[in-house]
Structure 1
């Protein structure tokens, strides 16, 4: 399913109509960042108002609107599980200057914490994956070792993210991983 979460309410409604009635796992992997993010050209003071508003709509409002509609479909599952993709940029003292992106990923962690408490007695396992810089140039068809070599220790191969998610999906209903931080080995912030 494709939807433009820059218009969060219509997108959430459309996804709600298309999604299966019963879900076992929901992986929410979405986020956009500033045009000049992660570069020397980045300047919060030069970010246009409409760009900031769109990022908040996609990264925060979109998440809330969509999760509110899809979580009820998880709750009847044997092991209902929600995995939210955060970012190391959203962690306290991340050392990253991207204001809107960092704030929106910090908000996602708060959303995860509140959802966990709201649905604890329905045994909804909520995990927030705080991912560092990803190697998105190499797909899963590229051997893991080759993908891990790109970026000289500054990029995480997608293979590692898949392995982590696979491990989360294999846990029993008696436990969950609250938060997992996965930075690249060369990331000096961690």
Structure 2
């Protein structure tokens, strides 16, 4: 399969590239290509904090046909997920930047890339959401939570708009991830390092592999993956 991973340079995106590269043809998208990436992956350098410029650059360099898009892009408040976070202390500039990147850039880029997917035998779009975007999530980060609520709305609307073209849209609602341990760390060790509060990247990669192997007769609409000791779920 030919798969584009958006937001691919570090964390979960990097793990998806490393975990899928042996079996699939990948195109990574991020501000810069990681210097230490061992896999032979095509790369498109684009900074989605400039949505219009980035989507034009990505559209120019994207292949004519894609089988799947893994959309793993999102930024959050400067003091998000820390004690003492206060919406009232968020700068206006940061709030607008988050809306531009998390919502605006997503809409513009998917508008450009969907024609590359549609018409294929099994077009798939996998969006990385967050448990912060679920009802009664227990999190106070207003703008980040709102942008992840929006992502779920984007997924729902795309399914309906392109149902006749059999577009499979999955929203992964992920809890807190252990982004310190990459796939080079054994999964069991990565799970221990989180002490039940963090999800190993290995688990998300395993789920994505499964989603990509489903037949064209079914799809997963939404998947909620919290850490085992996350008391919010």
Assess same fold via TM > 0.5.
yes
Counting matched residue pairs gives 190
Offset at residue 6 of structure 1 (A): 1.3
Query: Of the candidates 160, 163, 167, which is equivalent to residue 203 of structure 2?
Result: 160
> Can you give the 5+ residue segments of structure 1 that lack an aligned partner in the other structure?
none
Offset at residue 41 of structure 1 (A): 2.5
Length-normalised TM-score, structure 1: 0.99
1:81 is the counterpart of 2:120: no
Offset at residue 76 of structure 1 (A): 1.8
Offset at residue 8 of structure 1 (A): 0.8
Give the equivalent residue in structure 1 for 2:144.
Answer: 101
* Large movers: runs of 4+ above 6 Å: none
Per-residue CA deviation, residues 10-55 of structure 1 (Å, 9 max, x unaligned), is 1111111111110000000010000000011311001000000000
Length-normalised TM-score, structure 2: 0.81
Offset at residue 171 of structure 1 (A): 0.5
**In 2: Cα distance, 1:74 partner to 1:65 partner:** 15
Offset at residue 2 of structure 1 (A): 2.5
**In 1: Cα distance, 2:64 partner to 2:85 partner:** 42
Give the equivalent residue in structure 2 for 1:11.
Answer: 54
> Can you give the 5+ residue segments of structure 2 that lack an aligned partner in the other structure?
1-43
Give the equivalent residue in structure 2 for 1:171.
Answer: 214
Query: Of the candidates 68, 86, 97, which is equivalent to residue 54 of structure 1?
Result: 97
Offset at residue 3 of structure 1 (A): 1.6
**Per chain length, whose mean CA-contact separation is higher, i.e. which structure has more relative contact order (CA < 8 Å, sep 6+)?**
1
